[in-house]
Chains A and B, each alone.
Chain A
Amino acid sequence: MKLSDDEKRMRDGEQGESVRMAMEILAALGEIYGAERLIPIRSAHVAGLSLKSHGLAGAQWAEDMASGGARVRIPTTMNVIGVDRSRDLKLPGDWVRDQMRIERAYECMGCYGTSTCVPYYCGFVPRFRESIAWAESSAVVFTNSVLGARDNREGGPSALAAGLTGRTPLYGLHLEENRRGDVLFRVSAPLRSTADYGAMGSYVGRMIGTRIPVFEGISSPDTEDLVYLGAALASSGGVAIFHAVGVTPEAPTREAAFGGRKYEVAEISEKEIAEGRRKLTSAKDRKVDYVAIGCPHYSLNQLRKAAGLLEGRRVHPGTVLWVHTNAAIRNMAAQLGYVQMIEAAGGIVTQDLCTVLGNPEALGFRTLATDSPKMAFYAPGSNGFQVWYGSTEECIETAVKGAWPSADV
């Protein structure tokens, strides 16, 4: 791989050990993936910041980097973590302490303590065809697909290396020719809720591997629908980009989405949506002690909807309701009264954390209900929960009644 003079100086340690290490990481990834050079980028998003991902080994690494003088040179946002910095959720003390070591180390390196998987809801919006180095699989798929930015599925250290150098290797989805579709999904099923988009993403993610899906027949999705579709595709599968004909910017037509390539065709009817939903549901017991929604973090629209559904109602005494978002959106929702509506009903609007990367299992919950296709996929392994998956309405109903509304999935 060819390096510019400036990049060679970074590689040779002229800007310190952390920049040297970052260049070595990027050069090695470039070699592995056959990149011919590095390209400049203007934003990075670091993920895997949970204590569950970093472990104490990673916490030590981040502290060593920070104390060694590592500082990011481009705006670098931070992903969702495993604690809520604004309140005591009764999580174990050593968990909170070690998670905050990681948080502080990255902030010392100059990263923004955004603590969210949806930085694009907080002012960090890459433009069409801009190359970026973001980790967090749901944000990768959103920026590629919905914004038309260019991003590979970065890991935590590679995204930090990009932040420290302002560079990323030119390969994969940074190249136009690798962004075309492989499989056409003709959607005949009516998509009635965000949860139906999540179920479709779960179905497609499981069967498509790392190929690129193109959806036809999605008429007018909300942005949130596309966020949850992408989160499902990226968790149930390894998808980093999708196209939706007439909806996403690189697919004005079916021909443009495939760019002249041959493609397979598959159907999405109500049967496939039902299967996607079923695959995300692992619970048998209808009694639910934990309802968690907001993964990816809720937008203001989604918080308002949840607040409206809880108006004049109370969360069941045997059930805990957590609604996940970030500090920016939570603050705005508090200004507008939605946080108070949810909390007056007995729910909690968390900031910074999410169920998968936190450890609410330490509070003794067993059965989770969620409207998140990503949380439903990961929670059995990450938290040990049995899971009910469904719409926001079903989840709020469950929080109020203490039981999943229907045994039919």
Chain B
Amino acid sequence: MALTLRGRTISKGRATGEALVCRQPIGFNFGVDVANGVITEYGHELFGRSIKDKVLLFPHGKGSTGGSYVVYQLARSKTGPVAIINVTTETIIAVGAIMGGIPVVDQLEKDPYGLISDGDTVTVDATRGLVTIEKKAGERS
């Protein structure tokens, strides 16, 4: 059974992908390899993992405001997430995602960390502010 949650539209658009859940803030400038979407910040919980084609759940952005341009470049070279869910979006992610056309929602009506796991199929319809979660086979929400 799919579960649908309402959130706040930050950057419009609609995309479906496999969920990648991250509990730490992400700094995009000097923190992600634009060539392949791999997180390069040493010691980060996603260090060495790729965010390419994922629906990426993380609390918010951090670090240099130049990160907006990196989010744009990830979108343009198709090495970034297909959609983003934040706890609360700040300006680096909001601006970069709008520049690159990546759908973003934040402030979901329920805590997404309790409901979304790695590998779930998640649809972000940011234009309507809706997130739909289909649990990975063998799991129940």
Contacts and interface: CB of A to CB of B under 8 A. Distances in A.
Contacts of B63: none
A21 B68 CA distance: 14
Interface in B68-82: 68-70, 72-73, 76
A156 interface: yes
Contacts, number: 69
A32 interface: yes
B136 interface: no
Given A55-B66, A57-B69, A21 B91 contact: no
Contact of B69 (A25, A28, A32, A61): A61
A24 B11 contact: yes
Interface stretch (B15-23, B37-45, B92-100): B92-100
Contacts of B65: 48, 53, 155-156
- Residue picked from B8, B9, B10, B95, most chain A C-beta under 10 Å: B95
Nearest to A23: B98
A391 interface: no
B90 A21 contact: no
B49 to A, nearest CB: 21
Contacts of A193: none
Contacts of A31: 8-10
B129 to A, nearest CB: 11
Contact of A55 (B8, B70, B89, B95): B70
Contacts of A56: 73
Contact of B70 (A32, A52, A57): A57
Contacts of A57: 34, 69-70, 72-73, 76
B62 interface: no
A28 B98 contact: yes
A58 interface: yes
Interface of A: 21, 24-25, 28-29, 31-32, 48, 52-58, 60-61, 64, 155-158
A28 B105 CA distance: 11
Given A57-B34, A155-B65, A28 B94 contact: yes
Contact of A48 (B66, B72, B73): B66
- Residue picked from A25, A57, A58, A157, most chain B C-beta under 10 Å: A57
Interface of B: 8-12, 29, 34, 64-66, 68-70, 72-73, 76, 89-91, 94-95, 98-99
Contact of B98 (A21, A60, A156): A21
A295 to B, nearest CB: 19
- Residue picked from B65, B70, B98, most chain A C-beta under 10 Å: B98
B31 to A, nearest CB: 13
A378 to B, nearest CB: 12
B102 to A, nearest CB: 12
A55 B9 CA distance: 28
A255 B130 CA distance: 49
19 contacts: A24-B98, A28-B89, A28-B95, A29-B95, A31-B8, A32-B91, A32-B94, A48-B66, A52-B66, A54-B66, A54-B69, A57-B70, A57-B72, A58-B69, A60-B72, A64-B76, A155-B95, A157-B68, A158-B91
A157 B96 CA distance: 9
Contacts of B34: 57
Contact of A61 (B11, B29, B64, B72): B72
Contacts of B69: 53-55, 57-58, 61
A49 B100 CA distance: 19
B76 to A, nearest CB: 7
B91 A29 contact: yes
Contact of A21 (B8, B89, B99): B99
A389 B76 CA distance: 43
Given A57-B34, A157-B68, 19 more contacts: A24-B98, A28-B11, A28-B94, A28-B98, A29-B91, A29-B95, A32-B10, A32-B91, A48-B65, A53-B66, A55-B70, A57-B73, A60-B73, A60-B76, A61-B99, A155-B91, A156-B68, A157-B99, A158-B91
